[in-house]
Amino acid sequence: LNLNNARFETSAVKPEQYPAEDIPEVAFVGRSNVGKSSLINVLLNRKNLARTGSVPGKTRVINFYNIDGCIRFADLPGYGYANVSKKEQLVWGKMADTYLNTRKQLKLLMMVVDIRHLPSELDIMMYEWIKGSGLPHVIAASKADKISRSQTGKMIKDISSVLEITEGTELIPFSAVSRAGREELWKAIERGVASCSS
Ligand SMILES: Nc1nc2c(ncn2[C@@H]2O[C@H](COP(=O)(O)OP(=O)(O)OP(=O)(O)O)[C@@H](O)[C@H]2O)c(=O)[nH]1
Ligand SMILES: [Mg+2]
């Protein structure tokens, strides 16, 4: 898998706009501002391929990234951002919902949670959906650089317990600053997307 061949493919708000070519897809889900786009950049060794920002609610469309014609990443709009209208939240929720419920190429879910906080009600709902979907999934606990090593262990335990994570599900501390966790997350991706495991 040649990461130098990673490129932005397209943005979509509805299925007709999703890329047509059938290659395995990894979808990134999580609360707004949790670090989904930053994680994508670190995985792909790019500074700003996926747009990130200090303004939460930046990603208002589904952004697709094609990696070497072999895997596609789908960066979904974050949920739970309070400072937008209810109507807008509904629109984004529906967008992610439609994607998750219809996308045949979806092979792996990468859920991102903030390692500093216990999962919110919406995180729990998201994870319930993931469990129910039966799709392979991995959880990245982002912003690990913001807490100490001893806190990391405790938070991983507490987050696992609040989410009631299933046996064998990986919950990997990650930092977009130190890049800690990047290798483990790639391994999880390669396991989930078997045809691209080179
Ligand atoms: N310290 C630290 N900051 C991070 C990390 N990951 C993301 N951030 C910061 O958190 C903010 C939000 O990151 P994004 O990657 O844009 O988050 P997002 O989940 O894509 O947000 P939406 O697109 O709004 O859903 C940015 O200011 C990032 O620089 C991390 O691992 N450590
Ligand atoms: Mg984003």
pLDDT at 92: 76
31 or 56, which is more confident: 31
Where does ligand 1 bind, in terms of residues with CB under 6 Å?
A: 30, 32-38, 52-54, 56-59, 78, 142-143, 145-146, 175-177
- Residue pair 141/173 in contact by the 8 Å Cβ criterion: yes
Give CA torsion, residues 69, 64, 106, 179, to 10 deg.
Answer: 90
- Find the mean pLDDT for residues 133-144: 97
Token pair, residue 66, equals: 């094609």
Residue with tokens 């990650």: 174
Q: Which of 4-8, 21-25, 82-86, 167-171 has the lowest mean pLDDT?
A: 82-86
DSSP state of 76: P
Nearest to 119 by CA among 174, 75, 188, 165: 165
Read off the pLDDT of residues 94-121 as tens digits, 9 standing for 90 and up. 888 999 999 999 999 999 999 999 999 9
Nearest to 78 by CA among 90, 96, 66: 96
DSSP code per residue over 166-180: PTT-EEEE--TTT-T
Question: In a mutational test of the pocket of ligand 1, which residue from 11, 31, 33, 73 has the highest number of ligand atoms less than 8 Å from its CB?
Answer: 33
User: From the alpha carbon of 38, which atom of ligand 1 is closest?
Assistant: 15
- Find the mean pLDDT for residues 62-91: 87
pLDDT at 196: 59
What's the CA-to-centroid distance between 39 and ligand 2, angstroms? 9
pLDDT at 189 over 80: yes
How many helices (H) and strands (E) the chain has is answered by: 5, 7
pLDDT at 197: 47
Token pair, residue 24, equals: 């395995």
Beta strands in 38-185, from DSSP E residues, in sequence order: 62-67, 71-75, 106-114, 137-142, 170-173
pTM above 0.85, yes or no: yes
pLDDT at 56: 60
Read off the pLDDT of residues 153-181 as tens digits, 9 standing for 90 and up. 999 999 999 999 999 999 999 999 999 99
Percent of the chain exceeding pLDDT 90 equals 78
pLDDT at 110: 98
20 SS3 class: coil
Angle between helices 182-192 and 36-43 (to 10 degrees): 90
pLDDT at 94: 84
Side-chain-side CA neighbours of 84 within 13 Å: the count stands at: 19
169 or 60, which is more confident: 169
What's the CA-to-centroid distance between 54 and ligand 1, angstroms? 7
pLDDT at 198: 47
Which residue type, as a one-letter code, is found at position 131? K
Cα–Cα distance measured from residue 166 to residue 179, given in angstroms and rounded to the nearest whole number = 26
